[in-house]
Amino acid sequence: MTTKAIPKSTGITLTRRQRRLLNAVLYHFFVGLVGIAMVYPILWMVSASFKETADIWQNISSIWPKSLHLENYSNGWKGFGGISFTTFYKNSFIYSGFGTLFQVASSAVVAYGFARIEFSGKRICFALMLSTMMLPDQVRMIPQYILFNELGWVNSFAPLLVPRLGGAAFFIFMIIQFIRGIPTELDEAAMIDGCGKAGIFFRIILPQLTPAMITAAIFSFYWTWDDFMTPLIYLNSPKMYTVSVALRAFSDRGGGGATDWGAIFAMSTLSLLPVFIIFVAFQRYLVEGISTTGLKG
Amino acid sequence: MSNSALPATLVGSKRRVRARHWRHSNLAGYLFISPWLIGYLLFALMPILASLMLSFTNYDVLGHNILRGDWDFVGLDNFEKMFYHDYRYWKSVKATLNYVVFAVPLRLMFALAVAMLLNTKRHGVYFYRAAYYTPSVVGGSVAVALMWREIFQRDGLVNNILGTEIYWFGNPDYAMWVLVTLAVWQFGSPMLVFLAGLRQIPQDMYEAASIDGANFFQRFWRITIPLLTPIIFFNLVMQTINGFQQFTQAFIVTGGRPLDRTLLYPLYVYNRGFVSFQMGYASAMAWVLLVTIAFFTLILFASSRLWVYYQGDEGKS
């Protein structure tokens, strides 16, 4: 690389150091510029959440609000139909909290079964488990709805949470891959000491699973937090809405008067906050999670 | 462990045999996988079979009790109606194929380009990686879909920056691009997978090629791409499967308009099943989707033998 000739036609000769500096400057300029373009729409929404509604559309490309309108947040928080976002956030945290807990905990248990225990029919079960990853939601959605409707569970959290007790193929697979990387010597030592399979899981495997479980929990949380279709189908009364469904209803209410875009963007911005905080706090786990599952897939 | 009276090999083999025997247990195995197995039977296998059965009925959910049999078998009527008499169905098929054919490859190309840009040890690359991944973190949310809808309004941010006055949602030729750009913008996950793959390519290969006088494009086509094919394949399969299932963004951003040009398949299934309550018809549609996804996945797997290059077995564990 360093032996490459510098184009003579420019008439400018640069030392190697200067060239490296120029490369670095060009790199950071270009990559930084594209990076700003990437996050610009999000920044725009955040800034719109502090703007007066008229200001949003008049100075559309401006990122800086003329004046800070924090009342967008208090106005938006009031919600609609007498139900405030306190309720919607409570619902979202119930769904995402328990949903994540159920999904990750049972995925770990199931993964241990697949990774460390030999049993007849394991190959078939494993193949079936993997095949559910490509199953479109649409094909289960209708019979599941009919089932939960017959049980009288529609408009409660049960249809959202109960299926989560079975874990999720994606996380089971990820945790299996992780367990396979744990040496079996400890298992065997524990076995000789008279430890049962459940004992090995709880005392030896589970404590070492923390990184994989954190990765799974992050993904599970943010997919659940963003989930729109399931709550849309099962939660019909506004009292039960999660933030995602509420946001959509909030922005669609239309009717009389001008739409309060400041408040809508304020609530939109706020709804991204839990996911964003988790992303910043656990970035390392997230990146590793995606990279390794991708590579081993 | 400290039992030194016996030859080490003997202890090892005995222990291994015992361990293997001990490890085999049908009861424990099924006990541990029972959460998944029960979930699979109740919430995957049963629904799949039920939806196959429903696709031959005229069942609707309104006040009808499925157990009491308030429905009739109608044979292949749903499929016949779908394929021959429902012009919206074909519009939604066309919209979905349009979406998948553009959004998936564009997203992957973008992801690879950015991954190559970020595959460096320069300062600040972690910061860039976070910035480029941010749209994907928040991208699945309703909030971002709402924002996307607003920035593509006629007086919105996009027209303002481009200096155009395009009516994105009214023009049948442009509306799909709103969804495709939204998909491409969320290139984060395949980018991270590509990045991990690029790191595994031995640097000395590039150096050797450079010494032999290969330029950037030759190194890209002869080294990077062939060695990345397993990862390209993985990303392609995952993204294609996901592409066929896009719902939230189509629902919020365009709602299928204009003229059903963006009526993605899952959105149409939802409209038929949960807006018009034609659950039999929607089930028939869902089954066609299942078969379609399986078909495309099989094609990709079958084609992989022609273009995916696996390096020996050294790398495999």
Tokens 């030999």 — which residue?
Answer: A118
In a domain, B313, yes or no: no
Cα A144 from chain centroid (whole Å):
24
* Distance in Å, alpha carbon of A235 to nearest chain B alpha carbon: 13
Q: What is the count of residue pairs from A and B with beta carbons less than 8 Å apart?
A: 282
Q: Where are the domains of chain A?
A: 16-75, 81-296
- CA distances (Å), origin A26, targets A32, B117, B180: 10, 12, 30
User: In this complex, which of B143, B157, B265 lies closest to A271 when CB atoms are compared?
Assistant: B143
Q: Which residue has the higher pLDDT, A285 or A28?
A: A28
At the fourth CATH level, the homologous superfamily of domain A81-296 is MetI-like (1.10.3720.10)
Give the span between the Cα atoms of A18 and A14, in whole angstroms.
6
Q: Is B143 in the same domain as B40?
A: no
In a domain, B224, yes or no: yes
Q: What's B133's domain CATH number?
A: 1.10.3720.10
Answer yes or no: do A166 and B23 touch at CB < 8 A.
no
List Cβ neighbours of A237 (8 Å cut-off, separation of 6 or more): A155
3-state helix, strand, coil in chain B (%, to 5): 70, 0, 30
pLDDT tier for residue A96 given thresholds of 50, 70 and 90: very high
Beta strand spans in chain B (E): none
Q: Over 60: is that where the pLDDT of A87 sits?
A: yes
Residue B259 phi, psi (nearest 5): 50, 35
* Predicted pLDDT of residue B5: 44
**pLDDT tens digits along A34-43:** 888 888 889 8
Return the ∠ at Cα B260 (arms to B257 and B262), rounded to 5°.
70
Q: Is A61 close to B48, i.e. CB distance below 8 A?
A: no
* Residue at a domain's end among B39, B54, B69: B54
Q: Look at A4-8, A94-98, B144-148, B247-251 and tell me which has the smallest mean pLDDT.
A: A4-8
Tell whether B35 is covered by a domain. yes
ipTM tops 0.90: no
- Whether residue B155 is found in the same domain as residue B41: no
Instruction: Name the phi and psi angles at A68, rounded to 5.
Output: -80, 125
pLDDT of B189 reads: 84
How many separate domains does chain B show?
2
At A175, list the tokens. 């945790």
CB contact under 8 A, B195 and A144: no
Whether residues B42 and B162 share a domain: the answer is: no
Backbone conformation region of residue A186, classed left if phi is above 0, alpha if psi is from -120 to 50, else beta: alpha
In a domain, B172, yes or no: yes
Name beta bridge partners: B24. Answer: A118
Q: Which residues of A touch B30 (CB under 8 A)?
A: 113, 119
| Most confident among A194-198, A263-267, B311-315 (mean pLDDT) | A263-267
A39 in Cβ contact with A47 (< 8 Å) = no
Name the stretches of chain B with pLDDT < 70.
1-23, 61-70, 311-317
Percent of chain A surpassing pLDDT 70: 90
Range of the domain at B153: 77-307
Beta carbons of A32 and B161 less than 8 Å apart: no
> Does B312 fall in a domain?
no
H-state helical runs in A53-84: 53-58, 71-77
B64 inside domain: no
Contact: B51, A140; criterion CB under 8 Å: yes
